[in-house]
Amino acid sequence: MFSKIIVAFTSLAVVVSAVPMRRATCSNGRTATDAACCVWFDVLDDIQQNLFDNSECGEDAHESLRLTFHDAIGFSPNLTAQGKFGGGGADGSIMAFAQIETNFHANIGVDEIVETQRPFALKHNVSFGDFIQFAGAVGVSNCAGGPRLQFLAGRSNISQPSPDLLVPEPSDLTDTILARMGDAGFSPNEIVDLLASHTVAAQDKVDPTIPFRKGTPFDSTPSSFDSQFFIEASDCRTLLQGTLFPGNGSNVGEVESPLLGEFRLFSDNELARDPRTACEWQSFILDHDSMVSKFEAVMAKLATLGQNPAELTDCSEVIPVPASVQLPAPTLPAGKSLADVQAACAATPFPALSAAPGPATSVAPV
Ligand code: HEM
Ligand SMILES: *[C@@H]1O[C@H](CO)[C@@H](O)[C@H](O)[C@H]1NC(C)=O
Ligand SMILES: *[C@@H]1O[C@H](CO)[C@@H](O)[C@H](O)[C@H]1NC(C)=O
Ligand SMILES: *[C@@H]1O[C@H](CO)[C@@H](O)[C@H](O)[C@H]1NC(C)=O
Ligand SMILES: *[C@@H]1O[C@H](CO)[C@@H](O)[C@H](O)[C@H]1NC(C)=O
């Protein structure tokens, strides 16, 4: 008897949950689970065409991804514990108070993307904090083999300027980076996961004399989200012994790179070799899927620093699905051998990669 009643209730529950949820109707025949997400389809159309030059994984996409970090990492429970304002995290303060925050030394260069993005946020009347995270997620979705990041909408547009010295510098020692990122809630492995972003990075401010942009620590063709960065194999490569400066000398935050035309950050070089981070770093060499899924997980955390995710609306469905790529098996760059690798993970041997054929690799300007 009892069991019959339970069965009856159970099947009723199944029927109820099978009724499709009403979806909100947005522009151009698209629908969303929540009407609050509709505006993001319009923002998507606009920025894909007018900010990212028809959905490219180009410079504005890279700078937009970098900006998600420089806004969000202004968040310090340590300062709060000392009775000071610790920053609001992913709150758009870097855009609302650009005249203050973009003058912080670690934010050198981000003023350009802040001012490029601002009119789009104003036009669509969305908060600066939401816009910055949305643009970063859309921008990196344009990179082949890239992540599809979560996007939660509803951050307040009200913020205060972040305190200075919360954004890591490329000249920082690993201890400093681990402490600062740890204060914001990231483990050493999660810092490495975040640095998957540098697979699509270039620099132009650490060595401003280089007359063109070069692959930063990693990539000569920073248009795909390629784990070669971690390998230091075919073109970009952090674990190969450095031998040269791509510009005309050493700059603060720069160390020698292994390839003509490639640029290496001091901080990436250190994190790739530190016992606390080396194994996570090395683990991505052969595992692009793990790099992408861990990046997606850690970016969900970054994008909501200082926010209560439960109070935000999940509009992830608006973020495009990145093109998949058939990445070639990782190799060492032509002209390099395993003897050039500075493996630093004690627990796991460095994978037995062979070198690409042909003359010694150099990295073309981007
Ligand atoms: C240890 C922490 C980090 C340090 C020290 C660092 C440092 C740097 C530096 C110095 C540059 C070159 C900027 C220039 O000269 O134009 C750069 C570029 C970049 N960074 Fe980071 N970064 C860190 C973490 C991150 C994180 C967490 C993200 C994103 C999630 C990120 C995304 C990027 C991107 C996409 C670029 C390339 C920008 C472009 O090509 O215009 N970085 N980073
Ligand atoms: C967000 O704040 C800025 C000022 O910092 C203002 O110009 C903009 O209109 C605000 N946007 C919204 C959606 O309230
Ligand atoms: C813009 O957004 C703000 C805050 O959400 C709202 O108060 C205002 O009415 C909106 N303005 C327009 C023109 O929709
Ligand atoms: C917290 O702040 C104090 C004082 O500035 C500093 O000495 C300490 O290293 C910080 N700790 C972390 C984890 O950032
Ligand atoms: C580096 O390059 C810049 C610009 O090309 C030049 O002005 C400067 O003298 C160079 N410095 C050295 C040490 O070669």
Q: What CATH code is carried by the domain that includes residue 221? A: 1.10.520.10
Q: Which of 124, 128, 131 to mutate to test the pocket of ligand 2 (most atoms within 8 A of CB)?
A: 128
Q: Which one of 70, 105, 124, 288 is the catalytic residue?
A: 70
CA of residue 90 to ligand 2 center, whole Å? 15
Residue 120 pLDDT greater than 50, yes or no: yes
Which residues does residue 202 pair with via DSSP β-bridges, in sequence order? 215
Mean pLDDT across 264-271: 92
The Cα–Cα gap between 212 and 11 comes to 65
Confidence grade of residue 19 (pLDDT, cut at 50, 70, 90):
low
Using pLDDT thresholds of 50, 70 and 90, give the confidence band for residue 207.
Answer: confident
Pocket of ligand 4 (CB under 6 A): 78, 179-180, 182-183
2 has pLDDT over 50:
no
Contacts with 118 (C-beta within 8 Å, 6 or more apart), sequence order: 95, 98, 128
**73, 78, 181: residue to mutate for ligand 4 pocket, most atoms within 8 A of CB:** 78
* Section 83-92 average pLDDT: 98
| 3-class secondary structure, 212 | coil
Determine which of 82-86, 93-97, 147-151, 211-215 has the lowest per-residue pLDDT on average.
211-215
HSE, CB side, 13 Å, CA atoms: give it for residue 167: 23
- Ligand 5 binding pocket includes 3 (Cβ within 6 Å): no
Residue 89, annotated ligand binder? yes
Structure tokens at 244: 């040269």
- Is a pLDDT exceeding 50 seen at residue 14? no
Q: Ligand 1, closest atom to CA 295?
A: 30
Question: Residues 255-274: what's their mean pLDDT?
Answer: 89
Could you identify the residue written with the tokens 């990196």?
140
Out of 128-132, 220-224, 319-323, 342-346, least confident range = 220-224
The reply to whether 18 falls in a domain is no
Is residue 316 annotated as involved in ligand binding?
Answer: no
Mean pLDDT of 49-53: 97
Q: How many domains does the chain have?
A: 1
Q: What is the mean pLDDT of the chain?
A: 87
Distance 14 CA to ligand 1 centre (A): 48
Instruction: Give me the mean pLDDT over the 347-364 stretch.
Output: 85
Catalytic site includes residue 70: yes
Residue 357 placed within a domain: no
Q: Choose the weakest-confidence range: 50-64, 177-191, 208-222, 288-302.
A: 208-222
Which carries the bigger pLDDT value, residue 43 or residue 333?
43
What is the pLDDT, as a whole number, of residue 5? 43
- Among 6-10, 71-75, 295-299, 356-360, where is mean pLDDT lowest? 6-10
- Answer whether 229's CB lies under 8 Å from 220's CB: no
Summarize the confidence of residues 85-90 as an average pLDDT.
98
Question: Residue 360's pLDDT is what?
Answer: 84
**Position 13 pLDDT exceeds 90:** no
In a domain, 211, yes or no: yes
Higher pLDDT, 214 or 126: 126
Q: Note the pLDDT of residue 274.
A: 96
Predicted local distance difference test score (pLDDT) of residue 327: 78
Q: Of all protein residues, whose CA lies closest to atom 3 belonging to ligand 4?
A: 78
357 pLDDT above the threshold of 60:
yes
Ligand 2, atom 5: nearest CA belongs to which residue? Answer: 96
Using the predicted structure, report yes or no on whether residue 154 has a pLDDT greater than 70. Answer: yes
- Residue whose pair of structure tokens reads 């789009």 in the numeric block: 120
> Does residue 63 sit within a domain?
yes
> Which position has the higher pLDDT, 167 or 361?
167
Residue 8 lies in a domain: no
The DSSP code sequence of 42-65 is HHHHHHHHHTSTTT--SHHHHHHH
The answer to whether position 26 is within a domain reads no
Write the CA distances from 232 to 41, 50, 189, 215, 262, integer angstroms. Answer: 38, 34, 19, 12, 11
Is any ligand 2 atom within 6 A of the Cβ of residue 186? no
Q: DSSP assignment, residue 307?
A: S
Percent of the chain with pLDDT over 90: 66
Domain of residue 305 covers: 33-340
Q: Which of 204, 207, 209, 210 to mutate to test the pocket of ligand 5 (most atoms within 8 A of CB)?
A: 209
Nearest Cα residue to atom 4 of ligand 2: 96
| Residue 24: inside a domain | no
Average pLDDT value for residue range 14-42: 85
Whether residue 347 is contained in a domain is answered as no
Whole-structure pTM value: 0.91
Range with the poorest average pLDDT among 219-223, 286-290, 329-333, 356-360: 219-223
Minimum mean pLDDT range among 224-228, 235-239, 262-266, 324-328: 224-228
